[in-house]
Amino acid sequence: MKVVSLIGAKGALEPALVSSLQSAWGGGEAVWLSPDEAAEFPVEAEPSNLRSVREDVAPMRVDVNCVDAENRKKRLLIADMDSTMIGQECIDELADEAGVGPRVADITSRAMQGELDFEEALTERVGLLKGLPVSVIDKVLETRIRHAAGGAVLVATMKSSGAYAALVSGGFVQFTSKIASELGFDTHRANTLLTSGDELSGEVGRPILGQDAKVAALREITKELGILVDDAIAVGDGANDLAMIGVAGMGVALHAKPKVAEAAPCRIDHGDLTALLFLQGYAASEFVTP
């Protein structure tokens, strides 16, 4: 048994669309998780034209996904940080402070779309930060980094149901340590910007945490918790998140690069991070605000 999930930008989901798809796909009774925002109904199998319908309703600012009816509420949230749990790419913000913003941003964009090797791209970008005062990290965190909408509610709601939350980033521990603490994550993993005195050395600690390391983190954490990878929901936006998204029991591409959104089992293009709660069957009335 499957569940068709319809999640719109706030106020965008019309009852007529829900009824139309319910009828077309032979779905069971619809349940509204949030008025004008999220609804779902059961189906026997994933509709064969799901992808084309998803494209058709995109102009309505509605996301259509199909998930397994069983084991929906996950016991582990494993999330990317940059452009997922926060709205920025930390290395791009550091580069802007160093005066090499456009050059680094271009490399970041190409790497996240899978056009460049992640490790090589990261090494090149970090090299351009050589000589930047370490104090700039705190400045960037204070003035440039903002939490993505719905992230704190996502973490708090899942943890209130007994889930564990892990922030696993191809970025840097100097940022994940603060973001993880602010959002309530139980643990975090990331790369380390190396320093020389009071300046960045232009090097990153080894081994570099990339796509394979994110999958390894998912497997290691689920093993430590005594659960299965099927009990995890993974979310990210870049090419280095795709393997993790594919391995987890529920994988979500959030406002992702085209290659990632196309390949991910679930995609959210219009909602915020609370959409991950709707995908798991949480009603808005169950959301926890920290």
Is residue 20's pLDDT more than 90? yes
Which residue type is seen at 44?
Answer: E
**Rounded Cα distance, 175 and 138, in Å:** 9
Helix/strand/coil (H, E, C) string of the chain? CEEEEEEECCCCCCHHHHHHHHHHCCCCCCEEEECCCEEEEEECCCCCCHHHHHHHHHHHCEEEEEEECCCCCCCEEEECCCCCCECCCHHHHHHHHHCCHHHHHHHHHHHHCCCCCHHHHHHHHHHCCCCCECHHHHHHHHHCCCECCCHHHHHHHHHHCCCEEEEEEEEEHHHHHHHHHHHCCCEEEEECEEEECCEEEEEECCCCCCHHHHHHHHHHHHHHHCCCHHHEEEEECCHHHHHHHHHCCEEEEECCCHHHHHHCCEEECCCCCCHHHHHCCCCHHHCCCC
Q: What is the mean pLDDT of the chain?
A: 96
Determine phi and psi for 11, rounding to 5 degrees.
85, 0
pLDDT tens, position by position, 51-110: 999 999 999 999 999 999 999 999 999 999 999 999 999 999 999 988 988 988 888 888
**For the residues 253-282, what does the mean pLDDT come to?**
96
Q: What is the pLDDT of residue 205?
A: 96
Is residue 115 very low, low, confident or very high in pLDDT (cuts 50, 70, 90)?
confident
CATH 3.30.70 domain range(s) in the chain:
1-70
How much of the chain, in percent, has pLDDT values that exceed 90? Answer: 89
Give residue 89's pLDDT. 94
Catalytic residue among 63, 82, 237, 272: 82
Residue 269 known to be catalytic: no
pLDDT band at 183; cut points 50, 70, 90: very high
**Architecture of the CATH domain 1-70:** 2-Layer Sandwich (3.30)
Residues 6+ apart with CB under 8 A from 120: none
Could you confirm whether 68 is annotated as catalytic? no
Mean per-residue pLDDT, 163-173:
97
Active-site residue, from 63, 80, 231, 241: 80
What is the reported pLDDT for 112? 82
> Which architecture does CATH list for 73-88+147-290?
3-Layer(aba) Sandwich (3.40)
**pTM of the complete model:** 0.95
pLDDT of residue 248 exceeding 90, the answer is: yes
Task: Label residue 118 by pLDDT band (50, 70, 90).
Answer: confident
